[in-house]
Structure 1
Amino acid sequence: MRICVPTLDTEGLHSQLSEHFGRAPYLTLIDSERQAPEFVRNPGAHHAAGSCQTAELLRGRTVDVLVCRGLGQKAFRRLEEMGIQVFAVESPDVASALAEYRSGAARALTSERACHGEGDHHSCG
Structure 2
Amino acid sequence: MKLAIPVMSNNGFDAEVSEHFGHAPYFAFVELEGDTVLGVEIERNPFESHGPGQIPGYIHQKGANILIARGIGARAIDFFHNFGIEVITGAFGTVKDLVEAYVSGSLMSSHYEPKEKFHNH
SS at match of 2:6: strand
Superposed CA RMSD: 2.0
Worse-superposed segment, 79-88 or 51-60: 51-60
Aligned residue in 2 for 1:40:
43
Aligned residue in 2 for 1:111:
114
Q: Please state how far the C-alpha of 1:27 moved relative to its aligned partner.
A: 1.1
Unaligned runs of 5+ in 2: 116-121
Letter in 2 for 1:93: T
CA contact (8 A) 1:29 1:37 kept: yes
Q: State which structure, 1 or 2, has the greater radius of gyration over its C-alpha atoms.
A: 2
SS at match of 1:32: strand
Q: Following superposition, which runs of at least 4 residues in structure 1 exceed 6 angstroms of deviation?
A: none
Aligned length: 110
Aligned residue in 2 for 1:123:
none
Q: Please state how far the C-alpha of 1:111 moved relative to its aligned partner.
A: 3.5
Q: Please state how far the C-alpha of 1:58 moved relative to its aligned partner.
A: 1.4
Q: Which has the higher helix share?
A: 2
Change beyond 3 A, Cα 1:58–1:23:
same
Q: Please state how far the C-alpha of 1:40 moved relative to its aligned partner.
A: 2.6
What is the identity percentage for the equivalent residue pairs of Structure 1 and Structure 2? 28
Aligned residue in 2 for 1:17:
17
